[in-house]
A and B are shown apart, each in its own frame.
Chain A
Amino acid sequence: MARVVVDVMLKPEILDPQGKAVAQALPRLGYDGIAAVRQGKRFELDVVGEITEERLAQIRGAAETLLSNPVIEDFTVRVEDAI
């Protein structure tokens, strides 16, 4: 089986309140030198059989309709080593 990873991030121009909260908490806990934090989501999809272009296109479709909200989020799809 192979693993496909879909990373979903808010589009850069969209406010990320969670990332902002983390960024504000870091220096309070003594972790200095971090200018900004953006928080996203990672999906790991374990795919049965071989990874084909067709299969990847299917996953991109799933990422666009279910895993992400394309109005405010971008996503990337990549194949990880076989597991």
Chain B
Amino acid sequence: MSETVKHAETTPEVQQPWRELGLKEDEYARIREILGRRPTSAELAMYSVMWSEHCSYKSSKLHLAQFGQKAPKTDALLVGIGENAGVVDIGQGWAVTFKVESHNHPSYVEPYQGAATGVGGIVRDIMSMGARPVAVMDPLRFGPADAEDTRRVLPGVVAGIGGYGNCLGLPNIGGEVVFDPSYAGNPLVNALCVGVVRHEDIKLAFASGRGNLIVLFGAATGGDGIGGVSVLASETFDDAHPTKRPAVQVGDPFMEKVLIECCLEVFAADLVVGIQDLGGAGLSCATSELASAGDGGMTVWLDRVPLRDSSLAPEEILMSESQERMCAVVEPAKLDAFLDICAKWDVLATVIGEVDDSGRLTVQWHGDTIVDVPPRSVAHDGPVYERPFARPSWQDALQADDPSSLPRPTSGDELRATLLQMVAAPNLASKSWVTDQYDRYVLGNTVLAQPEDAGVIRVDDETHLGVALATDGNGRFAKLDPYAGAQLALSEAYRNVAVSGARPLAVTDCLNFGSPEDPDVMWQFAEATRGLADACLELGVPVTGGNVSFYNQTGDAAINPTPVVGVLGVVADVRRRVPIGFGAADEVVLLLGEARDELGGSEWAHHVHGHLGGLPPRVDLAAEKALGALMAAAADDGLVTAAHDVSDGGLAQTLVEMVLRRGVGASVTVDDVAGDAFVALFAESVARAVVAVPADRVADLEASASSYGVPVTRLGNTGGETLVVQGVLTVAVDELRAAHEGTFPALFG
């Protein structure tokens, strides 16, 4: 028997467990003020979960507003921040929706299921926009590669992503795998999904039209992740309180697959008014958000929700995060057709509520009213915090500790040894141990996938229109300077997309940080969001949506601030995409852009010296834009046969990857690149790419580069079975391959 509103009205003195549910005293007081009485237990459950950091963005909201205020003018954005995912016009009547989200804490508790349900959740976000999901990507971050906990978490996470995504039949076209001690005990498992939709088919999450019905469809509701959202995302793990761990959510990708097909058929038949996926906070979130975004109120008969576990209390049903569920708003006249399609796909569908004009969200339980609230107060008018932030006292010392005092290799032998050490470093080594567990080509539209710079998917079979996607983030850069670090993440993702031959259009971001209650962390967050918003404005790519993950810390030690940025670009003709690998001998190898002695936060300093200090590479968005424009033109004109950006590990890593991709060697000189061979090979200056150009097109490329103001340095030629840096080092392709590809199998079996 659940507590009724009537009972709450007559018993104002009852003590309620608001603190245990993660609410602050003033928040509880506000709930009482909103309702004019104490909340019922079901109302308390709803408010606590919807006002948690994870659902309400209460600490980040003020800062995230910049993404709207500073948004660049663009006609491409069809749906912006605030919906389940942003939607971008890519031309020819096609639109693309994409978003990245975190599933960090669940993946630490139970790596396989945590990562799997992370994929499932982001896929449903994309479905709820009316789109067909076409690809996923997973940016992952772990503690040191040889740490025991990484050995537990990484294989489970990778298997979970592969298991869910492969069963679902979605190609996994990219992402990242990064190791850093700061992620020990706090792995970052971010998941991105991209979907394709015709303009006229875009769906939004709102419940309007009095008398319309709320249909819950998909899996039955169980005790999955009860309180997971509020408890997990609001407080750090502490071994002393294992009871706070909720029931792990288990995904069922085959259920999700039929749900996708069922949704698309329902959309095609125009049977829904609004639609919402069920993710964090389950029905509490879906019903209050639908009602709040609509034009009236809603009544939900909670006892009609089909249950997997009949002992669940109504509070638990409201909070359950059972996977593979969706909520639709359906006109009564269309209900039978809707239910027929669900039956055809073997999808359970139940009318659980009705839209009305009461302005209230009421929830009934066997005839009693157990929730009666203004929906906006739950979904959209949650608390907003102006958290104090201050530049950390250690920031100056960190920036002063620059890597200039680190011993550098100088002789040819030393540089050769350093190069082989670097290409085998866990952060730079081949990730095929991971990506080979993912299906990269299912659906048959994958044009490029890992280890290419960007994933490229064909959207239209006739016109060859496609999209390119890349995600990047560098926690070390962001730790040294969060403002610049966030810009550098964008800069790199933008470059990866541009180098593949795409025109960058829009951004999604997953902001992974420590506790917002720590002023140091909050400063990092404020700086990173400001930096990202400024850079998006300058590069002309709006943020369309994303997610914030706070409380990634163990005790007082927060992770490196890690804004992960995904950039989406449009490829006019996917047949003109540019791969990273040298494809033929006797082509000319050119470096675009300028190198400087920039090694602060570099992979070299990290891997060889375990050093983090100084300043990250200088941000140069104008140069990035020029390089992007040049690469787009070069792809259109078919000037380049291969192109690869220069980033982590510097020019050396870029050349090695271009050589190894198809086993075509190269002979280059770096005498004209920078002061000395070491800086030339390992500095991580931005806005650079290496390209291969047929000998008879070099003049054309140089002319084009000059018109865009991009400096060009001739490095040498492709060919042979070695990588030669003239006067410095020679390494056989086989030796490079053994070093580059041996690391992951040695670590993870």
> Is B339 positioned at the interface, with any CB of A under 8 Å from its CB?
no
Contact with B along A1-34 (1 / 0, CB 8 A): 0000000001111111100110010000000000
Residues of chain B lying within 8 A (CB to CB) of residue A39: none
Main secondary structure, interface of A, reads: loop
> Is B252 positioned at the interface, with any CB of A under 8 Å from its CB?
yes
Of B224, B248, B346, the residue contacting A24 (CB under 8 A) is B346
Query: In the complex, which residue of chain A has the Cβ closest to the Cβ of B247?
Result: A13
Residues of chain A lying within 8 A (CB to CB) of residue B248: 14, 71-72
> Is B102 positioned at the interface, with any CB of A under 8 Å from its CB?
no
CB interface residues, B 299-352, toward A, < 8 Å: 308-309, 322-323, 346
Residues of chain A lying within 8 A (CB to CB) of residue B671: none
Tell me whether A71 and B110 are in contact in the complex, defined as CB-CB below 8 angstroms, given that A13-B222, A15-B224, A24-B346 are known contacts: yes
> Is B255 positioned at the interface, with any CB of A under 8 Å from its CB?
yes
**Smallest Cβ distance from B712 to chain A, in angstroms?**
55
Q: Report whether A13 and B309 are in contact in the complex, using a CB–CB cutoff of 8 Å.
A: yes
Q: Report whether A72 and B254 are in contact in the complex, using a CB–CB cutoff of 8 Å.
A: no
A35–B222 Cα distance when bound, in Å, is: 16
Q: Report whether B250 and A21 are in contact in the complex, using a CB–CB cutoff of 8 Å.
A: no
A11–B541 Cα distance when bound, in Å, is: 47
CB interface residues, A 44-83, toward B, < 8 Å: 69, 71-72
Q: Report whether A13 and B223 are in contact in the complex, using a CB–CB cutoff of 8 Å.
A: yes
A14–B346 Cα distance when bound, in Å, is: 22
Query: In the complex, which residue of chain A has the Cβ closest to the Cβ of B109?
Result: A71
A69–B111 Cα distance when bound, in Å, is: 11
Of A12, A24, A72, the residue contacting B309 (CB under 8 A) is A12
**Smallest Cβ distance from A27 to chain B, in angstroms?**
12
Interface size on B, residues (CB 8 A): 20
**Smallest Cβ distance from B108 to chain A, in angstroms?**
11
Query: In the complex, which residue of chain B has the Cβ closest to the Cβ of A17?
Result: B252
A72–B156 Cα distance when bound, in Å, is: 14
A20–B348 Cα distance when bound, in Å, is: 13
Q: Report whether B247 and A11 are in contact in the complex, using a CB–CB cutoff of 8 Å.
A: yes
Residues of chain B lying within 8 A (CB to CB) of residue A13: 222-224, 247, 309
Q: Report whether B247 and A14 are in contact in the complex, using a CB–CB cutoff of 8 Å.
A: yes
Residues of chain A lying within 8 A (CB to CB) of residue B322: 15
> Is B113 positioned at the interface, with any CB of A under 8 Å from its CB?
yes
A24–B53 Cα distance when bound, in Å, is: 39
Q: Report whether A72 and B252 are in contact in the complex, using a CB–CB cutoff of 8 Å.
A: no
Residues of chain B lying within 8 A (CB to CB) of residue A21: 254
**Smallest Cβ distance from B319 to chain A, in angstroms?**
13
Residues of chain A lying within 8 A (CB to CB) of residue B219: 15
Residues of chain B lying within 8 A (CB to CB) of residue A11: 247
Residues of chain A lying within 8 A (CB to CB) of residue B113: 72
Query: In the complex, which residue of chain B has the Cβ closest to the Cβ of A21?
Result: B254
Tell me whether A17 and B254 are in contact in the complex, defined as CB-CB below 8 angstroms, given that A11-B247, A24-B346, A72-B248 are known contacts: yes
A16–B251 Cα distance when bound, in Å, is: 9
Most buried by B among A10, A14, A21, A69: A14
Query: In the complex, which residue of chain A has the Cβ closest to the Cβ of B114?
Result: A71
Residues of chain B lying within 8 A (CB to CB) of residue A10: 250
A69–B250 Cα distance when bound, in Å, is: 13
**Smallest Cβ distance from B241 to chain A, in angstroms?**
16
Residue ranges of A at the interface with B (Cβ–Cβ < 8 Å): 10-17, 20-21, 24, 69, 71-72
Residue ranges of B at the interface with A (Cβ–Cβ < 8 Å): 109-110, 113, 219, 222-224, 247-252, 254-255, 308-309, 322-323, 346
10 smallest beta-carbon distances between A and B, as pairs = A17-B252, A13-B223, A15-B250, A13-B247, A71-B110, A72-B248, A14-B250, A15-B222, A71-B248, A72-B110
- Beyond the given pairs A14-B222, A15-B308, A72-B113, 7 more chain A to chain B contacts, judged by CB atoms under 8 angstroms and listed by A's residue number, are A13-B223, A13-B224, A13-B247, A14-B250, A15-B219, A15-B323, A72-B250
Query: 15 A-B contacts, Cβ less than 8 Å apart?
Result: A10-B250, A12-B309, A13-B223, A13-B247, A14-B247, A14-B248, A14-B250, A15-B219, A15-B224, A15-B322, A15-B323, A17-B252, A17-B254, A21-B254, A72-B110
